[in-house]
């Protein structure tokens, strides 16, 4: 019987897991789910006919066969990546126009773009910010992202993207000086809002049953990303979509003192223009991977 060649994706997952000694860290590196890494490695073990890892509680360890395979497969995968990068560097750069709202660009897309550029160095992502709906921006993008299903031209197949909620955030130093442990303490804080989302506070208070007490003050800005920066700088508390503050919460620049009190928002959708550059498909695939990654981290948003 001829030998079966192991699937390359499974080998790649194995090498990442072996290097980190963790399926979870391998999943983060590869931008896939933990279960996807586990399935890939299981299929590789079935193909090779040996166990590559010892599964222990909350950790894994290479078997002797796994160590032997990693010693050969690790350098081979690195060599494949190096060969691909060398060829990509010789080819022409191809651009993809990504049309998003300014706040989404600043708070979600741009912090993650290095991951895309590292994987696809031959593709140049051109971020185009706009507040108009995609049907009004037709012809100025290859792929667009917006909240909700309204305002998309019929020629575009719209695909579901990020689910979202809004919650209260502020600077750690602010909550240390003025704790916000319950809804009654809202009145002691300055409320920050965006001109384009000035109804959010009333809607959120109604949703969570907060008292309609007058706040200590109000500050309004033109765009949401200005509001979030003001929150980081300690000017007050803000209502923030979880999609746009994940990095700030993870780094500790912002905290959520009432993490359970969230209000659902319209989810994001993305769509490719009918005449989109072929490379836009890679952006769409990357969006899908980022969506899976973000959904894993959504429950990890911690309070102070």
How far is Cα 41 from Cα 268, in angstroms, rounded to an integer?
Answer: 33
- pTM, two decimal places: 0.65
% residues pLDDT > 90 (the chain): 48
**Mean pLDDT, the chain, as a whole number?**
87
- 46-99 confidence digits (pLDDT tens): 999 999 999 877 778 889 898 889 888 888 888 887 777 776 666 566 889 999
Q: Look at residue 239 and give its three-state secondary structure.
A: strand
Residues ≥6 apart with Cβ < 8 Å to 16: 25, 26, 29, 30, 37
Residues ≥6 apart with Cβ < 8 Å to 75: none
Q: How confident is the model at residue 173 (pLDDT cuts 50, 70, 90)?
A: very high
14-26: average pLDDT: 88
How far is Cα 123 from Cα 96, in angstroms, rounded to an integer?
Answer: 7
Q: State the sign of the Cα–Cα–Cα–Cα dihedral 215, 221, 222, 224.
A: negative
How far is Cα 51 from Cα 62, in angstroms, rounded to an integer?
Answer: 9
Looking at residue 292, what is its pLDDT? 81
| Residues pairing with 39 in the sheet | none
């Amino acid at each position: 019987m001829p030998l079966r060649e192991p699937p390359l994706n499974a080998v790649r997952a194995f090498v990442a897991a072996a290097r980190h000694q963790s399926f979870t860290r391998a999943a983060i590196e590869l931008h896939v789910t933990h279960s996807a890494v586990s399935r890939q490695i299981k299929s590789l073990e079935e193909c090779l006919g040996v166990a590559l890892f010892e599964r222990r509680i909350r950790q894994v360890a290479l078997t002797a066969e796994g160590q032997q395979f990693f010693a050969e497969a690790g350098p081979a995968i690195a060599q494949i990546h190096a060969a691909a990068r060398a060829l990509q560097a010789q080819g022409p750069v191809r651009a993809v126009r990504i049309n998003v709202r300014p706040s989404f660009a600043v708070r979600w897309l741009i912090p993650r773009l290095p991951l895309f550029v590292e994987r696809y160095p031959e593709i140049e992502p051109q971020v185009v910010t706009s507040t108009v709906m995609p049907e009004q921006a037709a012809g100025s993008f290859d792929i667009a992202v917006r909240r909700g299903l309204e305002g998309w031209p019929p020629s575009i197949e719209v695909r579901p993207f990020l689910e979202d909620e809004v919650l209260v955030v502020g600077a750690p130093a602010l909550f240390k000086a003025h704790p916000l442990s319950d809804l009654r303490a809202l009145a002691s804080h300055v409320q920050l809002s965006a001109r384009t989302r000035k109804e959010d506070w009333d809607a959120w208070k109604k949703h969570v049953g907060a008292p309609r007490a007058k706040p200590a003050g109000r500050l309004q800005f033109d765009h949401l990303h200005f509001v979030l920066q003001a929150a980081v700088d300690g000017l007050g508390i803000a209502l923030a979509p979880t999609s746009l503050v994940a990095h700030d919460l993870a780094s500790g620049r912002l905290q959520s003192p009432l993490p359970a009190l969230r209000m659902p928002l319209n989810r994001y959708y993305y769509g490719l223009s009918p005449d989109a550059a072929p490379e836009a498909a890679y952006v769409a695939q990357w969006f899908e991977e980022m969506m899976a990654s973000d959904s894993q981290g959504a429950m990890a948003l911690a309070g102070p």
